[in-house]
Amino acid sequence: MKIAQIAPLLESVPPRLYGGTERVVSYLTEELAHRGHEVTLFASGDSLTSASLVPCSPQALRLSAKSRDPVPHTLLLLEKVKRRIAQFDVLHFHADLLHLPIFRPFASRTLTTLHGRLDLPGLRAVYSEYADMPLISISNSQRLPVPRAHWLATVMHGIPASLMRYTAEPRGDYLAFLGRISPEKGPETAIAIAKAVGIRIRIAAKVDPADKNYFEYNVQPLLDHPLIEWTGEIGENRKSEFLGNARALLFPIDWPEPFGLVMIEAMACGTPVIAFRRGSVPEIIEDGVNGFVVETAAGAIEAIRRLDALDRARVRACFERRFTAARMADDYIRVYEALAPVPRLQRHHIGEERPRGQEGIRRLNA
């Protein structure tokens, strides 16, 4: 099958450091290419892929000193995609809204995975207007603000099974916080939890320009404490050590998290997750199996005291069963097959006949 993967341009694919969407696009692109599909990746010029790369900006915009405004570059990206549209069976977008009016005439061959929160003003009206544009959610909870959008399926993220190293016996007596410094991610709460239980916490996170003031006034003053270790932003090559040697990952979010890639990264290392019941958390964390779902900081403190009851091998097994890149690709291929009736894809990878066209879409939604 000839598939176009269209990525945002703020980060390379995969990103050098932080970047959830671009990392998922990379995992999906590589898995599809490995299976023999003809995949073309539209992304920044510093992206690395075994697929065919169409560079749409010289480098990731977040790293560029010249232009970080994504809109002009995204418009040029969409023009490049449109010029090549006849080459593809499916156009898979990962870049929000700007493509909707341009590719509406080709809606039957497009698919858009929404990676962000959908409870922001105006989005309900947008997806109501473009109700003919097929969408994928990354959790069921993500859909709640726009329930009448044209949802084809929920496809949860996955990462390569070999990406993270399983650690049966962690060497570090610490809690981990990994991600982005912002109020909704809860770094202050994570620090307070660690102090309350008297366990060291290591914080590996990036600080976006938009959150610089928050970091300097709210978080940085808390770092001068013997239990707090600030690591800063780390790349993928350091995550196995960072997450694998932690007693648990703290995920004290205060927003409707659409997915939360760091949770499955921790699980891949065998590290349980203690997460607040927000957004996708109850869909990812099986309470008492691969972590604990809690309501408050007090609940997280109590959960830390019960960590020894969890089996790290079972945590890893949950990851392998539900959150690998291979499983994610299987799910997307099912959607592609239903969306585009291409003879080469008449059979599923395990030999099961799949419904085609609109009948396939109805079956996927059933």
Average pLDDT over residues 326-344: 85
Per DSSP, helices labelled H in the chain are 20-34, 70-83, 100-103, 123-129, 187-197, 212-214, 239-244, 261-268, 281-284, 297-304, 312-322, 325-339, 357-365
Q: Are residues 186 and 308 located together in one domain of the fold?
A: yes
331 occurs within a structural domain:
yes
Residues 336-353: tens digit of each pLDDT: 999 876 544 433 333 333
Helix, strand or coil, per DSSP, at residue 289: coil
**Tokens linked to 120:** 């922001």
**Amino acid, single-letter form, for residue 152:** L
State the pLDDT at residue 77.
96
* 235 and 207 Cβ atoms separated by less than 8 Å: no
Reported as a pLDDT band with limits 50, 70 and 90, residue 362 is very low
Whether residue 329 sits in one domain with residue 316: no
- For the cut 90, the answer to whether the pLDDT of residue 66 exceeds it is no
Co-location of 194 and 279 in the same domain: yes
Among the residue ranges 57-66, 121-130, 251-260, 295-304, the one predicted with the least confidence is 57-66
Q: How many CA atoms, within 13 angstroms, populate the side-chain half-sphere of residue 192?
A: 12
Specify the number of domains making up the chain: 2
| DSSP code for 218 | I
Q: Is 211 found in the same domain as 199?
A: yes
Over residues 205-227, the mean pLDDT reads 95
Mean pLDDT score, 49-75: 87
pLDDT in tens, 238-249: 999 999 999 999
Question: Do 85 and 134 lie in a common domain?
Answer: yes
Which residue range is the domain that position 140 belongs to?
2-160+325-365
pLDDT over 60 (residue 357): no
**pLDDT value, residue 209:** 87
Q: Is residue 165 part of a domain?
A: no
Residues 351 and 255 in one domain: no
Both 39 and 84 in one domain: the answer is: yes
Q: Are residues 305 and 338 in the same domain?
A: no
Which residue, of 287, 302, 322, is where some domain finishes?
Answer: 322
Q: What is the CATH number of the domain that holds 218?
A: 3.40.50.2000
Question: For residue range 146-159, what is the model confidence (pLDDT) as tens digits?
Answer: 999 999 999 999 99
Contact between 344 and 1 under an 8 Å Cβ cutoff? The reply is yes
Q: What are phi and psi of 262, to 5 degrees?
A: -60, -25
Is the residue at 55 inside a domain?
yes
* pLDDT tens digits along 15-35: 877 678 999 999 999 999 999
Mean pLDDT in residue range 272-285: 98
Answer yes or no: do 198 and 275 share one domain.
yes
Q: Residue 25's pLDDT is what?
A: 98
The pLDDT of residue 67: 67
190 lies in some domain = yes
Q: Is residue 84 part of a domain?
A: yes
> What percent of the chain stands above pLDDT 90?
83
Do 6 and 122 have their domain in common?
yes
Q: Which of 139, 126, 89 is nearest to 111 (CA)?
A: 89
Domain-located, residue 44: yes
User: Running DSSP on this structure, what letter comes out for residue 6?
Assistant: E
Tell me, yes or no, whether 167 lies in a domain: no
pLDDT at 11 over 70: yes
- Domain assignment present for residue 169? The answer is no
Same domain, 194 and 232: yes
d(CA 89, CA 119): 32
Residues 12, 58, single domain; the answer is yes
Mean pLDDT of 321-330: 98
pTM value is 0.89
**Average pLDDT for 124-142:** 96
